Amino acid sequence: MDRSTNQQYLAEDMQRLDEMLARVTKSDETLSRYLTSGGDMQLLNLACGACNEAGTLANFFGRFNKKSADNRKLKFVGLDIRAREIADAAARFRGNLNAEFEFLRGDATKLHDHQQLPSEFDVVFVRHQNLWNGKSDWEKIYHKALEKLSPNGRLIITSYFDREHQQALEVIKEQGGELVVTEANEMSRELPTPGKFVDRHVAILKRQSSL
């Protein structure tokens, strides 16, 4: 695929991700209330790779402030185990008045080793986990993700495959998560691998027994 076609696909995928987030967050009263409250926000994007989604997520979560454009400060931390992808992300997303970006190379199964991370995040986002590639690692990653949530914080995941999405929800439940809402995105882009679609599903989860 040539570069300009790739860029075009990416732009369309990001537009769909933004629209999907707008739809699904409306089904979560606590999150919607928090988003429109205008406070600062901390977002952790785990296993973010080159983090194509960073700008879209920062715009989405940063734009809810109704008071003034520069009122909400978003701290965005992206983390992935692959150094080259993290370096790419750091070169592309440098932050602005409303968003501070930080990209770390690290193992999400060992989040506790990253002492410089804030103690809690309002949103932990995991886009396109690859559960098939090592279920026990993802059990640990989801466990750490839930541990990092603020009391009313949300874990938001998206998945490429129907079955993998259901498996991820099961794993998160076993690790102490509770499903708030899950939605299939019928508009998602089909990829060459059978059954694989960009952001085919999205789900919002919370820690069991939180609001």
Kindly list the residues in this chain that would bind ligand SAM in the complex (CB under 6 A): 47-49, 52, 80-82, 85, 107-109, 127-128, 130, 137, 141
Torsion angle (degrees, nearest 10) of CA 131, 43, 103, 65: 140
Query: Closer to ligand SAM at the Cβ: 65 or 109?
Result: 109
CB of 28 or CB of 53, closer to ligand SAM: 53
Q: How far is the CB of 203 from ligand SAM (least distance, A)?
A: 15
Mark out the alpha helices in 107-188 (DSSP H runs).
135-147, 162-174
Nearer to ligand SAM (CB atom), residue 31 or residue 108: 108
Cβ 66 to ligand SAM shortest distance, Å: 30
Angle between the 54-62 and 3-25 helix axes, to the nearest 10 degrees? 30
In the complex with ligand SAM, the residue whose CB is nearer, 69 or 83, is 83
Shortest approach of ligand SAM to residue 134 CB, angstroms?
A: 7
Are the beta carbons of 14 and 52 closer than 8 angstroms?
yes
Of 21 and 65, which CB lies nearer to ligand SAM in the complex structure? 21
Strand duo 41-46 + 74-80: pairing: parallel
Q: For residues 54 and 72, which CB has a smaller minimum distance to ligand SAM in the complex?
A: 54
- Strand pairing class (149-159; 201-207): antiparallel
Question: Min. distance of Cβ 61 from ligand SAM in angstroms?
Answer: 16
Q: Could you tell me the smallest distance in angstroms from the CB atom of residue 146 to ligand SAM?
A: 15
Residue ranges with strand state E in the chain: 41-46, 74-80, 99-105, 121-127, 149-159, 177-184, 201-207
* Residue 183 DSSP symbol: E
Nearest to 120 by CA among 77, 149, 144: 149
Q: How far is the CB of 208 from ligand SAM (least distance, A)?
A: 23
